[in-house]
């Protein structure tokens, strides 16, 4: 599947959507896969020095949203309908990296597989499957 938005356009959408937050960085996009990085801030921490579960869920959701927009354009009406996440390992205190792969782009639903790692490690810290409802469009 060929994306219809560029990394730069997706970064701008991200900046607009997270105005007062620790803005994630769109690192790359190729075919069906987008890589999004979440810089660590103290706000994302937990006692014991790890990244909180809600921070991991939020970055998984954002990465899924962006890889869908990359393929359907800046459709602001895409909404999450479900999210499933398995937490696998405690992340190090390092930036989180989400690799989001678009595994279904239908007329009404899009499904994204998301792998989360810590920067500099290949071990998965979490794994998610995220479904979005999208405005009606021709099926691919």
**CB 35 to a copy of itself: min, Å:** 18
The answer to whether 135 contacts a copy of itself (rule: CB under 8 A) is no
Total binding residues for a copy of itself by CB under 8 A? 33
DSSP readout, 71-127? HH-S-TT-EEEEEEEEE-SPPPSS-EEEEEEEEEE-SSEEEEEEEEEETT--SEEEE
**Positions 25 through 64 that interact with a copy of itself (CB under 8 A):** 43, 47, 53-54, 57-58, 61
**CB 31 to a copy of itself: min, Å:** 13
Rounded CA gap, 134 and 14, in Å? 18
The answer to whether 72 contacts a copy of itself (rule: CB under 8 A) is no
- Residues for the chain: how many in total? 140
Distant-in-sequence, close-in-space partners of 89: CB < 8 Å, separation ≥ 6:
123, 124, 125
Q: Which of 1, 4, 79, 93 binds a copy of itself (CB under 8 A)?
A: 79
Point out which span in 4-12, 33-41, 73-81, 92-100 binds a copy of itself (CB under 8 A): 73-81
Furthest-apart CA atoms within the chain: distance in Å:
48
Rounded CA gap, 12 and 85, in Å? 27
> Where on the chain is the footprint of a copy of itself (CB under 8 A)?
17, 20, 43, 47, 53-54, 57-58, 61, 76, 79-90, 103-104, 108-109, 111, 113, 124, 127, 129, 131, 133
């Amino acid at each position: 599947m060929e994306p219809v938005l560029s990394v730069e356009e997706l970064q701008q959408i991200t900046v607009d959507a997270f105005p007062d937050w620790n803005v994630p960085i769109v690192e790359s996009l190729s075919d069906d896969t987008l890589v999004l990085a979440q810089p660590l801030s103290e706000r994302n921490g937990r006692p014991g020095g790890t990244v909180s579960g809600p921070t991991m869920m939020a970055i998984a959701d954002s990465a899924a949203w962006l890889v869908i927009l990359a393929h359907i354009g800046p459709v602001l009406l895409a909404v999450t309908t479900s999210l499933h996440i398995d937490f696998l390992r405690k992340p190090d205190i390092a930036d989180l990296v989400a690799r989001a792969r678009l595994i279904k782009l239908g007329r009404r639903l899009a499904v994204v597989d998301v792998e989360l790692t810590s920067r500099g490690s290949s071990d998965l810290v979490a794994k998610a499957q995220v479904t979005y409802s999208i405005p009606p469009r021709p099926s691919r």
